Structure 1
């Protein structure tokens, strides 16, 4: 028992310790907000896409689509999404649009800044393919669903649809995924000096992502407005979502590592995209911001719990 807990601590504490380093660096003004923006852009636009390209181009992709994997994850995600929307309407009396913000925050995970470093540390290279395959469709599916629901009351305009398509087509994470998959299919891999350059950029993804998350938590606050809704959103994201996925993995056959990746992916805290969506529509900003900060802080303990349940360590 003690040995298992020690193994889990070795996985969890360095990851969230790096987040704390970023937070403290911003707190004592060692790093400015301007640097925070630049580091986040580097991680999202260059370092993580390079890591994804390197991993997928050098890995073996599954011959058949793992439909049980997709169903298990997204059924759990939309279960949490729906519960958060229902609670926003019935418990907190929020408008239909703000309910969508609550649902999106409860169903959309922080994949880049926490998911990639933590899941790769837990499962190593064996977990890379299921992780990046899920990332490939996670944001498009969740963002399209949230946008359709947000725009539904006013009528989904052609202009909104075009903006959404453009944003997804130019998303650096998705470009890295498609380039890596294409490179694998065509047998194209970086070699020589280009490979060394890709390796160096990819190696920066994990530490820079974690430091960047810590910097952003200092900017947006560790606590804030709408405490009760954000606490409920955090509970749905960290406990209900992964519990639903965990149960569904027993119904659909898949390798143990794939099941574990799906559950840990679901157990990640609320992603910053919930806050960005709220900012875009000017509604639910307090709840989404607090949910990101609160769920990230609580994830230190809940991720350890799910690692224990999954027997990872």
Structure 2
């Protein structure tokens, strides 16, 4: 019963804020997703990543291992999912990037923070930064047939995470007024991302529910195993292993639909998968947390 309560305390705020956004749209109110998303990923999320990492007491070796393990995990997940899609006769251009790069931002970061505190937040930030770099390079290349490392270099979240790691590892400190300003900006990120997730899900059209459920469950198995493999390969500690597996099994991101829409990669089917995988996550994330929390000693 104690574990059930702990899990509820972790996931309830995440899904309740998502429901706020969902209900807001269904009530007929306006919500400019493009504006909020641009503000979040240009200002509040980079600020959150910077402050979370800059304040963390980092073991350089542990976080280097976690970053390397994240890279291995995403490469292993991509290969496993590519083989699965080829065997099923499904389009890798449509499905490989959405299935590989989950919603580590809108959902993964708040879940990690609520579950594992400041340490979990810092670990999730490292994994999110690795995922974002891969998504804006390899992910764009898969969907569009072209891509460039310059895409990742244009993203403020990359610099927020990189500078946060530099400050943490060197012991540098910003003036207090500036750090507090960044902390305030970062505090906007999580509620904005969760409400926007709910808004986006409310506006998507669900199609192909059956196949989407199968794909959602298969990606959880493949990505979860890839997360464990990456952590095992580099000897990541238990808390880092939990953080990596948890991030890897996050649902398909709304940005995958936006990318599919931009490059005409079956956006309707991807939209359905986003909605279905998010609903599946309502069950799978609590199950994963229930398995992890006893080992974490929380």
Equivalent of 1:177, from 154, 157, 161?
A: 161
What residue is the counterpart of 2:46 in the other structure?
A: 49
Structure 2, unpaired ranges of 5+: none
What residue is the counterpart of 2:277 in the other structure?
A: 295
Quote how far apart the aligned CAs of 1:306 are.
0.5
Residue 242 in structure 1 maps to residue 220 in structure 2: no
Equivalent of 1:216, from 197, 200, 207?
A: 200
Change over 3 Å in CA distance of 1:52–1:124 after alignment to 2? same
2:93·2:265 contact (CA, 8 Å) conserved in 1?
no
Change over 3 Å in CA distance of 1:170–1:146 after alignment to 2? closer
Quote how far apart the aligned CAs of 1:217 are.
0.8
Equivalent of 1:267, from 244, 249, 252?
A: 249
What residue is the counterpart of 1:26 in the other structure?
A: 25
Aligned residues: 295
What residue is the counterpart of 1:110 in the other structure?
A: 103
What residue is the counterpart of 1:39 in the other structure?
A: 36
Partner SS state of residue 160, structure 2: helix
Aligned mates of 2:121, 2:155 — CA distance in 1: 20
What residue is the counterpart of 2:93 in the other structure?
A: 100
Aligned mates of 1:207, 1:231 — CA distance in 2: 27
Quote how far apart the aligned CAs of 1:83 are.
4.5
Aligned mates of 1:119, 1:148 — CA distance in 2: 29
Structure 1, unpaired ranges of 5+: 153-159
Quote how far apart the aligned CAs of 1:146 are.
3.6
Quote how far apart the aligned CAs of 1:9 are.
0.8
Partner SS state of residue 311, structure 1: helix
Quote how far apart the aligned CAs of 1:86 are.
4.0
Residue 207 in structure 1 maps to residue 191 in structure 2: yes
Change over 3 Å in CA distance of 1:128–1:218 after alignment to 2? same
What residue is the counterpart of 2:14 in the other structure?
A: 15
What residue is the counterpart of 2:4 in the other structure?
A: 5
Change over 3 Å in CA distance of 1:63–1:80 after alignment to 2? closer
Within a 5 Å distance, the mapping from 1:180-195 to structure 2 comes to 180-195=164-179
Partner SS state of residue 241, structure 1: helix
Partner SS state of residue 176, structure 1: helix
- Bigger mean CA offset, 203-212 vs 224-233: 224-233
Aligned mates of 2:113, 2:226 — CA distance in 1: 22
Change over 3 Å in CA distance of 1:201–1:284 after alignment to 2? same
Change over 3 Å in CA distance of 1:146–1:205 after alignment to 2? closer
RMSD: 2.5
Equivalent of 1:119, from 102, 112, 136?
A: 112
Quote how far apart the aligned CAs of 1:220 are.
1.7
What residue is the counterpart of 1:155 in the other structure?
A: none
Quote how far apart the aligned CAs of 1:307 are.
0.5
